[in-house]
């Protein structure tokens, strides 16, 4: 057991349930293909890090993903409660530094995760900002429930509002590099991830012909 833990939140890859905003443009099958590729990138990034890992699926554990790692299902009514419960379990297991990431970032790598853990040496909380005003990574060296309570999930003021609350409480916070996730068709076609993935381009083209 390491003193640091990486939690990964993964939406189960089901047709019609992933990347729904993107699906409005390229269809459910196209969104399914895109998200499948993003999960592969996330798995590679975490497998390249040397910290303990726990994988939390949205609906059901998938044995073929993150083999030999701790896997379970998220618990809670909304995203905040689900994240809070995952952090709570981690701290109760004895971990001193915990970061949580999602699974839809085309540019994430093990360095982003390492930077998040390292930031917790001198800070109590760390965020990896997303370009849409949310965050792709959140980390803590102790449990702060306020981060997860009554927050505007999926809204552009999520991170700014959370930071305001933490600063008001004099909690020391670090931020990492800003990354962009893939929510819309414009996000997709602008990404290096898509431009460099010829197979994915061909699949989406075929699906939309």
The reported pLDDT for the residue numbered 37 is: 92
Inter-residue contact 8 to 53 (CB < 8 Å): yes
Give residue 19's pLDDT band: very low, low, confident or very high (50, 70, 90). confident
**Pairing status of strand 173-175 against strand 4-10:** unpaired
Note the pLDDT tens digit of each residue in 105-135. 999 999 999 999 999 999 999 999 998 899 9
Rounded to 5°, the CA angle 39-43-44 comes to 120
Domains of the chain (ranges; CATH) run 4-208 (3.90.550.10)
Rounded to the nearest 10 degrees, the angle between the axes of helix 20-47 and helix 198-208 is 160
Nearest-CA neighbor of 137 among 161, 120, 150? Answer: 120
CA distance 10 to 57: 5
Average pLDDT, the chain: 92
Instruction: Please tell me the distance from the alpha carbon of residue 95 to that of residue 92, in angstroms, as a whole number.
Output: 7
**Both structure tokens of 35:** 């998200």
What is residue 22's predicted lDDT score, i.e. its pLDDT? 87
Mean pLDDT of 97-104: 94
Tokens 């992933």 belong to residue: 18
> DSSP assignment, residue 197?
-
Query: pLDDT class for 104, splitting at 50, 70, 90?
Result: confident
Distance separating alpha carbons of residues 115 and 38, to the nearest angstrom: 21
Residue 94 to residue 68: CA distance in whole angstroms:
20
**Joined tokens for residue 68:** 């030999």
Give residue for tokens 């004099």.
170
DSSP strand E in 89-134: where? 97-101, 125-129
Q: Is the pLDDT of residue 181 over 90?
A: no
Mean pLDDT, residues 163-191: 91
Tell me the torsion sign for CA atoms 118, 123, 124, 130.
Answer: negative
The pLDDT of residue 14 is above 90? no
């Amino acid at each position: 057991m390491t003193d640091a833990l990486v939690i990964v939140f993964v939406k189960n890859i089901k047709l019609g349930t992933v990347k729904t905003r993107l699906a409005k443009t390229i269809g459910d099958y196209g969104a399914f293909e895109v998200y499948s590729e993003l999960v592969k990138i996330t798995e590679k990034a975490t497998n390249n890090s040397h910290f303990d890992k726990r994988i939390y699926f949205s609906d059901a554990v998938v044995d073929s993903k993150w083999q030999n790692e701790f896997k379970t299902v998220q618990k809670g009514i909304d995203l905040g409660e689900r994240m809070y419960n995952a952090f709570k379990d981690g701290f109760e297991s004895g971990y001193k530094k915990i970061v949580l990431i999602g699974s839809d970032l085309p540019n994430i790598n093990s360095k982003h995760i390492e930077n998040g853990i390292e930031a917790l040496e001198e800070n109590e909380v760390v965020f990896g900002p997303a370009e849409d005003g949310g965050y792709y990574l959140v980390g803590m060296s102790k449990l702060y429930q306020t981060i997860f309570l009554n927050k505007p999930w999926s809204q552009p003021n999520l991170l700014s509002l959370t930071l305001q609350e933490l600063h008001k409480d004099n909690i020391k916070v670090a931020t990492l590099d800003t990354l962009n996730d893939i929510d819309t068709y414009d996000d997709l076609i602008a990404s290096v991830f898509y431009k460099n993935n010829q197979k994915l381009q061909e699949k989406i083209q075929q699906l939309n012909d």
